[in-house]
Amino acid sequence: MNDIALRLTNVNKTFNVHSAEPVRAVRDLSLTINRGEIVAFLGPNGAGKTTSLDMVLGLTEPTNGTIEVFGGTPAKAIAAGRISAVLQSGGLLADLTVGETVRMIASLYANPLAPEEAMSRAGITKLEKRRVSKCSGGEQQRLRFALALLPEPDLLILDEPTAGMDVNARQEFWKTMRQEARGGRTIIFATHYLQEADEFAERIVMIAAGQLIADGPTAEIRELTGAKTVSVRWPNVTEADLERLPGVSDVVITDDRAEFKTGDADAAARILLTETPATDLEIRSAGLDAAFTALTEKAKEASARATN
């Protein structure tokens, strides 16, 4: 059996090709996603996430390059009910109730999941009789999720699925989604919430200015910046004491502790523990936020070099 769910090969999408200012929304994107993976497309506004996912969903065509979903075209995968999506907005009729909406969409499929089951899995059974117009943003997202489950897709695409949800709703949503993933679905979601990618995805594909800037397991992406935060207990320490350590920056001294960043945490730790009064040493990897900023800067520099 072929284990590949999605393969993009040198995909480009340029809007307004013939205008004076074409927009290169996606540039030479190549990646392979296997069945059962949970992947976050992470990037700032305008990075090209929605455009990439729209192409996977067959809503727009690449300018060039190829996209294969389960070995065929996106259109074929959609027709077979193997791929479905929870998109950012739109697509709901305000005057229908939640139950009517789910039953109506279910009637369009040959072998859908039972509407009650879809509502139950999306956690909206209690909302069955409520009009869509009266549902909160988060509840409407759950309804879209119930609709996406109807064809029992192998690949679920979620474009900023928790936009408009508060913290509790967001956590509930991801709890449901984890259960779906355990059932063997491939899940790809776009987000600019670094924490969401960090907590939920197994793999992060970082995109900035239409280009892939990093791709790997979540922990690996966090490691990519190299910089680590070192914290030690050292009463009466001064900034001058820390300056002799390698690559120190961002020093913060509070009460009896000092915290700083360094690109060579091992060397700093060796000196701290053998040549100074420092004790209780902790080393942390930089957060995803820092990794993202550093990688975006690197991508900008690379892009500037390429165009100069």
Ligand X SMILES: Nc1ncnc2c1ncn2[C@@H]1O[C@H](COP(=O)(O)OP(=O)(O)OP(=O)(O)O)[C@@H](O)[C@H]1O
Supply φ then ψ for residue 62, to 5 degrees.
-65, 150
Q: How does 198-219 read in b/e, with b if 16+ C-beta sit within 10 Å?
A: bebbebbbbbbbbbbbbbeebe
Q: Does 49 bind ligand X (CB under 6 A)?
A: yes
Could you tell me the smallest distance in angstroms from the CB atom of residue 19 to ligand X?
A: 9
d(CA 234, CA 231): 9
Member of 48, 62, 138, 151 binding ligand X (CB under 6 A): 48
Asked if 168 is part of the footprint of ligand X (rule: CB under 6 A), the reply reads no
Number of residues this chain uses to bind ligand X (CB under 6 A): 13
89 lies in the site for ligand X, by CB under 6 A = no
- Say whether residue 112 binds ligand X (CB under 6 A): no
Q: Cα 285–288–293 angle (5° rounding)? A: 110
Residues in contact with 301: Cβ distance below 8 Å, sequence separation at least 6, in sequence order:
none
Residue 54 or 139: the one with the smaller Cβ distance to ligand X is 54
Distance of CA 182 to the CA centre of its chain: 18
DSSP-derived letter for residue 252 is: E
Choose, by CB under 6 A, the member of 4, 7, 9, 23 that binds ligand X: 23
Instruction: Name the one range near ligand X by CB under 6 A: 28-36, 47-55, 246-254, 273-281.
Output: 47-55
Output 173 or 189, the one with its CB closest to ligand X: 189
Q: How far is the CB of 28 from ligand X (least distance, A)?
A: 15
Q: Encoding tokens for residue 109?
A: 């499929």
Q: Contact with ligand X (CB under 6 A): which of 2, 19, 45, 274?
A: 45
Rounded to a whole number of angstroms, the minimum distance from the CB of residue 141 to ligand X is 15
C-alpha radius of gyration, the chain, whole number = 23
Extract the tokens encoding 157.
């695409």
Closest distance to ligand X from the beta carbon of 207 (Å): 7
Minimum Å gap between C-beta 64 and ligand X is: 16
Q: Is 50 in the site for ligand X (CB under 6 A)?
A: yes
186 is a site residue for ligand X (CB under 6 A): no
For 95, other C-beta atoms within 10 Å of its C-beta total 8
Which DSSP state fits 134?
G
**Under the rule (CB under 6 A), what is the footprint of ligand X?**
15-16, 23, 25, 43, 45-51, 192
